[in-house]
Amino acid sequence: MKWLRDVLDNLKPNFEKGGKFPWLHSTFDAFETFAFVPKTTTSCGAHFRDALDMKRTMTMVILALMPALLFGTYNIGYQHFHSINPSLAFFDGFWDNLWYGIVKVLPIIVVSYVVGLSIEFGFAQWRKHEVNEGFLVTGMLIPLVMPPDVPLWQVALATAFAVVIGKEVFGGTGMNFLNPALLARAFLFFAFPSSMSGDNVWIAQKADAFSGATPLAEMMIGAELPSASWRNIFGCNITWSGFSYNYRHWLMEDYAFGIYWRSTYGAYL
């Protein structure tokens, strides 16, 4: 990969102080360190370091999110078709379900990453430090807590709010006391309640005839745990959230946001 190294070495002076684009230094640094692990050596303290860095750590967290994301994607498709045809079994029309889910999910992921990363890069540049990889995980968690039909401009707004208010105003990664992903959802919940709560939001383009209240809502009006069995709750294929990917989400949906969840994933954000 000598040629790529040469290209980067040639470009580098342009982004240093006194070059043509010093205001893009953090961006260049982010791409350069993506391609090559830097050659810096230890200057004080221990003379050698572990091979694990933040990039790989966050990559591992994203990998760990993949099963939830894949299941959620499939479940969006399944819940949609299930609302049209209640007799549909979980694995009927597998590819249709999956495709439907992908079409719903992918735009949310793209919007979340594009908006969030641009703000991250901007702030990193402004503060003259490196781009932190933490947002790669946040950007994946935000789609995981959004209803499937949420308008994309709302996702963009919520992501921007979460990154700026949830993280950057407190000094950026490592200084925030709010979990940005959950803040994004809390923001939408209070700013646009109609697209975040109620019977209709958690099944993508739900058929009108289908009742899709969440089990707790059903219990509130006196029904005896209609669709929720423990197996369903932990097995996840019920209707309370577009991604309804695990029971934690259920707790989050109907109880308080955050505290419980932060203790599990929040550390990474």
Partner 1 sequence: MVKTITVRKGFDIKLKGEAKKRVMDVEIDSYAVKPSDYLGVNPKLMVQKGDMVKVGQPLFYAKENPRILFTSSVCGQVQEIVRGEKRFIEEIQIKASKVQESVSFGEFALDLMDKEQVIEKLLQTGLWTLLRQRPYAVIPNPESCPKCVIITAFSSSAYAPDYNLLTQGREKDIQMGIEVIKKVANCKVHLNVCGKNTTAPEILNLKGVQINRFVGKHPVGNVSVQISRLDPMCKGDRVWYVDIQDLAIIGRFFLSGRIEKDKIIALAGSEVKNPQYYRVRMGACIFPLVNDNVNSQNFLRFISGDVLTGKSIAKTGYIGAYDNLISVIKEGNYYEFLGWIAPGLKKFSFYRTFLSGFTNLLPFSRRKPVEIDTNMHGGKRALVLTGEYEKVLPLDIYPMQLIKACIIGDIDLMEQLGIYEVDAEDFALCEVIDVSKTDIQSIIRNGLELIRKEMGE
Applying CB under 8 A, the residues found at the interface with partner 1 are: 1, 4-5, 29, 33, 35-57, 59-60, 130, 132-134, 172-175, 267-268
Separation between Cα atoms, residue 118 and residue 57, nearest integer Å:
21
Question: Nearest to residue 147, comparing CAs of 245, 254, 243?
Answer: 243
Residues 252-264: b if buried by 16+ CB within 10 A, e if exposed: bbeeebbeebbee
Q: How far is the CB of 110 from partner 1 (least distance, A)?
A: 22
* φ, ψ dihedrals at 130, nearest 5°: -75, 155
Query: Least distance (Å) from partner 1 to the CB of residue 130?
Result: 5
Tell me how far, at minimum, the Cβ of 124 lies from partner 1, in Å: 11
Distance from chain centroid for Cα 140: 3
> Locate tokens 């379900």: which residue?
97
129 versus 198: smaller Cβ distance to partner 1: 129
Q: Which is closer to partner 1, CB of 13 or CB of 107?
A: 13
Residue 222 DSSP symbol: T
Q: Which is nearer to partner 1, 61 or 109 (CB)?
A: 61
Nearer of residues 105 and 269 to partner 1, judged by Cβ: 269
What's the chain's length in residues?
Answer: 269
**Minimal distance in Å, beta carbon 109 to partner 1?**
20
Min dist CB 122 to partner 1, Å, is 17
Residue 120 has phi, psi (to 5 degrees) of -60, -45
Q: Could you give the CA distance from residue 188 to residue 197 in angstroms, rounded to a whole number?
A: 10
Q: For partner 1, which is the closer residue by CB, 106 or 175?
A: 175
User: Is the distance from CB of 79 to CB of 71 less than 8 angstroms?
Assistant: no
| Smallest separation (angstroms) from partner 1 to the CB of 134 | 7
Q: Where are the beta strands (DSSP E) in 142-246?
A: none
DSSP 122-156: HHHHHHTSPPPTHHHHHHHHHHHTS-TT--HHHHH
Q: Which is nearer to partner 1, 84 or 175 (CB)?
A: 175
